[in-house]
Structure 1
Amino acid sequence: MTAVVLAGDFPSTGILQATVAYRVGLDGGDEACAAFIDHVAYALGQRGAVLVVYPSWKGERARRMVRLARSALLTDRVAGVPLDVPPLALSLIADQLAFASGYARPGVLASLAGRLCESVYAGAWVNSVARMEHIKTGLGAHVSSYLPGNGFAVSAGPRPAVHRISASRPVPEPATRPADPVLMLFGHENGDVEWLQHRLRPVIGAVSVTAVAAQPMSAEYWGTRKYAEFVAFSGHPQALQSLLAGSPYRSCGWCGEPTALPECPFCFMVQPGPDAAPAPGPAAGRAS
């Protein structure tokens, strides 16, 4: 099995209660570094491999910590997995990876992380995009942030977009939609929850909408203290298995770890093209 560690201040949503990712804070000096290494060492001893998930939009310290842990513990069985998703989606995906860790080898699990980011629909209602840094916005959207209105619908993920909410078009057409049944989580800070419930929910066809605690990093991510962040995902019992089986995994030529990524997350060897022989199935073997 593989231990999944989420680096940073991203509390669990509580939706997947049986198995969740370990949470490790990164704030602080030498004590934080020592605590991180101790935590990784313990997880490594328990599971044999560790995936450290962290946000790519705030990843410099996490990347240094991962390199330090690999060096201090003299191991290549610790891999960093940067994900470009908002805080609420990041928390959910880390817990989904922890849930799947009992069914997939470490390299397969690292490959699954990107597929999970593509499978969810994440975004937020925000009152302004004037200070938004992590999602590209046009000059018109920035200017309109200073005008009276109903706010913005912002989509994150593989196809980010910013939509000015209007009476004629209160919700943009989602670029992607999870497989049925669609479940939605949201957390907010002075946000328009009515828009989530009565405008967004019917468009994506969510069968349930669950309020969770606001993520501590959400205000920084969205650039405002008036937001309603959401993530919609599939509640189908075979959703994770379908994602696991949907990628062509190949054995790394150096360390032998099956992966669908261009570079092995453990030994960093660049992988061959798609014509190479595939590796065994996702659940073949256990972490060593």
Structure 2
Amino acid sequence: MTSADLVLPPTDQQTPTAALLQAPEAQTMELAIGDTHLLLEQHGYVIVLYPSSIQPAHERRLHGIRSILESDRIALVKVDLPPLGVAVLVRQLRQLSVSDLSPGVVASAARLLSHYIYSGALLHSVAKLDRFPVSLKSHAKSWVPGSQFAVLAGPESQLIKVGPQAEPLAGPEFGTHLLVAKGQSQSDWVQETLAPAWKVQAIHEASLPSESSRWWGTGKLVEFAAYLPDISVLYQLISSVRREKCHWCEMELIGDRCGFCSSPLAASENRAHSTGVPHHEVGVPAVS
């Protein structure tokens, strides 16, 4: 992982922690290479999950380490989720890492599982929100005192102005837990309105990741992420997808791209099997 505050506490005694691959300003290249080499020696494979919002120098550092070590056992997996959603996905992969799934399947499963994480935030202003199209009308409303906006980043993006006549925020159609992290906002809208509307089974609190304010364009927010909490459901979800072998590095994979070398499936394989992971390929098992 690339930030310590994206490592959520484990949910059980079997869930391992995550190793931290620090930014260039926090650690020399020599030490970073040594730490990564040690991880490879201890565990055999290293899956580095990092957000698309990472600083460019940090991302170059990751690719540089992989290149210098000349290792095909390092997977660099970039995901386009808000910080709290990334933290949830990191914990899910940590849980799956101790199962009998191969490293290649775990790495490529990140893309699949990200489609089942409903990540968003309650914002008091969208004036500096530049990750989604925001209408001039919404920008104008954000200057009205007391305005609040609910933004869903994924699986599909949506922005609504919170109020009595507001349209509902599209939520999951399967049982989830809701993780909530408060910034400078004291609003209870997420717990009192969104959670019942989404019929979540439990609400958990977390510290707001340091990157969240920059990601959402304001520190006055409440970030949230709804997710599948049961590791057996995640395992069943992944196991129901057809596995392929990468034609380049020969790692196992699911979906249309290798998690370790990023090579796509050969054209004939892509024609034979649908490439996107999500809902049309895999039904989500019922969560009791």
* Residues 83 and 209 in structure 2, CA contact (< 8 A), matched pair in contact too: yes
Could you tell me the TM-score, scaled by structure 1's length?
0.85
Structure 1 position 94 matched with structure 2 position 106? no
Q: Write the distance in 2 (CA, Å) between the matches of 1:106 and 1:237.
A: 17
CA distance change for structure 1 residues 15 and 228 in 2, over 3 Å: closer, same or farther? farther
Could you list the per-position Cα deviations for residues 218-241 of structure 1 after superposition, in whole angstroms to 9, with x for gaps in the alignment?
A: 111111010000111122352211
Matches within 5 A, 1:134-173: 134-169=131-166, 172-173=168-169
Find out whether 1:219 has 2:213 as its counterpart: yes
2:68 aligned residue: 72
Does residue 1:46 correspond to 2:42, yes or no? yes
Query: How high is the sequence identity, in percent, across the aligned residues?
Result: 27
CA distance in 1, matches of 2:39, 2:253: 21
One-letter identity of the residue aligned with 2:194: L
CA shift, 1:133, in A, is 2.2
Give yes or no for contact 1:250–1:276 (8 Å, CA) kept in 2. Answer: no
SS of the aligned residue for 1:228 comes to strand
10, 15, 24: which is aligned to 2:5? Answer: 10
Q: Structure 1 regions of 5+ residues with no counterpart?
A: 1-5, 278-288
Match of 1:33 in 2: 29
Identify if the C-alpha distance between structure 1 residues 86 and 267 changes in structure 2 by more than 3 Å, giving closer, same or farther. Answer: closer
Asked if residue 129 in structure 1 is aligned to residue 126 in structure 2, the reply is: yes
Map of 1:285 onto structure 2: none
- 2:148 maps to amino acid: G
> Is the contact between residue 81 and residue 110 of structure 1 (CA under 8 Å) also seen in structure 2?
yes
Larger displacement relative to structure 2 (260-269 or 71-80): 260-269
Matches within 5 A, 1:50-65: 50-58=46-54, 60-65=56-61
**3-state DSSP of counterpart to 1:114:** helix
**Alpha carbons of 1:63 and 1:210: their partners in 2 closer, same or farther (altered >3 Å)?**
same
Corresponding residue pairs, total: 268
- Checking the alignment, whether the CA contact within 8 Å between 2:24 and 2:57 is kept in structure 1 is no
Contact 1:126 1:152 in 2 (8 A): yes
Structure 2 distance, partners of 1:132, 1:125, is 12
RMSD after superposition: 2.2
